[in-house]
Chain A
């Protein structure tokens, strides 16, 4: 196990802005089509974070034209150019899977008060 984690240590990102479950974030994903590459933005609520090390991933959910859409991003993928936090949410669960059942509750996530600590991290 130690060999594996040491091997992938260099591949881990250190420059990602910290965010947590309940936050609304913008994910900028690099998409390469032939020779061209562009950035695609996916904005939504982080409903889960799972895994550790190089296998860590997070799920972002948004409502697109009335239909729920979820995307799972590998945290350390080089295709993710950057992550921006739009709002910090205040939630009491680690996994917000209940949002799948209740669309209207998505907008009801309370905003977290901007404490000094959060401001520093951001």
Chain B
């Protein structure tokens, strides 16, 4: 069973737990319904397909609408859960998770655009004064005619952020089933309003 839920990052705040300050990220999990079950015989793997976040049907394109023809409402996002045993038409919500549980959270990190090596890789840079003529540059990137090339994977300037980031061992501080909210301790990758996945952590 690989259970996971898609949620929307609302923002950060803090709560008190036994007079202790706990920083939390609030994640809202919209209504989620199982729309299809996939089997080994027919599809080659076992999974359930779920749709989430209600939206007007007029806002969905026709190929997607075909998948939702049994349903009154339209849903904006769809994703699959491998080897799950949840039946068709069943609704799933935040109560899959319990307080104090450790989970895996993944999301798309904030984009930083094209960055230099100091921001992107944490290089120290060069002095700002005392006659220094380079300040935020990478410095030397290799040797001379031996080996005569730059090693592959050399850390250089480039696009930073906006990549899928997965964090293990995030603690669920609180679950609000009636509000469809989850409080996760600490930060979560991504901007406010971005999609995050909360996965069950199955340690082998």
User: Does B33 belong to the interface (CB within 8 Å)?
Assistant: no
What residues of chain B lie closer than 8 Å to A8, measured between beta carbons? 13, 15
User: Does A18 belong to the interface (CB within 8 Å)?
Assistant: no
**CB within 8 Å of B: which of A33-67?**
54-55
Complex Cα distance, B19 from A54, in Å, reads 14
User: Does A86 belong to the interface (CB within 8 Å)?
Assistant: no
What residues of chain A lie closer than 8 Å to B15, measured between beta carbons? 8, 11, 54
Chain A: CB-nearest residue to B16: A78
Complex Cα distance, B10 from A4, in Å, reads 8
A55 adjacent to B14 (CB under 8 Å): yes
User: Does A20 belong to the interface (CB within 8 Å)?
Assistant: no
What residues of chain A lie closer than 8 Å to B10, measured between beta carbons? 3-4
User: Does A1 belong to the interface (CB within 8 Å)?
Assistant: yes
Which residue from B11, B16, B28 sits with its C-beta under 8 Å from A1? B11
Complex Cα distance, B176 from A8, in Å, reads 13
A3 adjacent to B21 (CB under 8 Å): no
Chain B: CB-nearest residue to A80: B19
B1-43 CB mask vs A (1 if < 8 Å, else 0) is 0000000001101111001010000101000000000000000
Complex Cα distance, B179 from A101, in Å, reads 50
Chain A: CB-nearest residue to B176: A7
Give the number of residue pairs across the A-B interface with Cβ within 8 Å: 35
Which residue from B14, B19, B26, B181 sits with its C-beta under 8 Å from A32? B19
A67-90 CB mask vs B (1 if < 8 Å, else 0) is 000000010111100000000000
User: Chain A contact residues: over half helix, strand or loop, or mixed?
Assistant: mixed
Chain A: CB-nearest residue to B8: A3
A7 adjacent to B13 (CB under 8 Å): yes
User: Chain B contact residues: over half helix, strand or loop, or mixed?
Assistant: strand
Complex Cα distance, B56 from A90, in Å, reads 58
Interface-central residue, A3, A55, A76, by most chain B CB under 10 Å: A3
B19 adjacent to A77 (CB under 8 Å): yes
User: Does A95 belong to the interface (CB within 8 Å)?
Assistant: no
Known: A4-B10, A4-B11. A77 touches B26 (CB 8 A): no
Complex Cα distance, B133 from A95, in Å, reads 43
A74 adjacent to B19 (CB under 8 Å): no
Chain A: CB-nearest residue to B18: A78
What residues of chain A lie closer than 8 Å to B11, measured between beta carbons? 1, 3-4
Complex Cα distance, B14 from A8, in Å, reads 8
B181 adjacent to A30 (CB under 8 Å): no
Q: What are 6 A-B pairs with beta-carbon distances under 8 A?
A: A3-B11, A7-B176, A7-B181, A54-B14, A77-B16, A78-B19
Supplied contacts A3-B11, A3-B26, A77-B16, 11 more A-B pairs, CB within 8 Å: A1-B11, A3-B28, A3-B179, A4-B26, A7-B13, A7-B181, A32-B19, A54-B14, A76-B16, A77-B21, A78-B16
| Interface residues of A, Cβ cutoff 8 Å to B | 1, 3-4, 7-8, 11, 30, 32, 54-55, 74, 76-79
5 tightest A-B CB contacts, nearest first: A79-B19, A4-B13, A78-B19, A3-B10, A78-B16
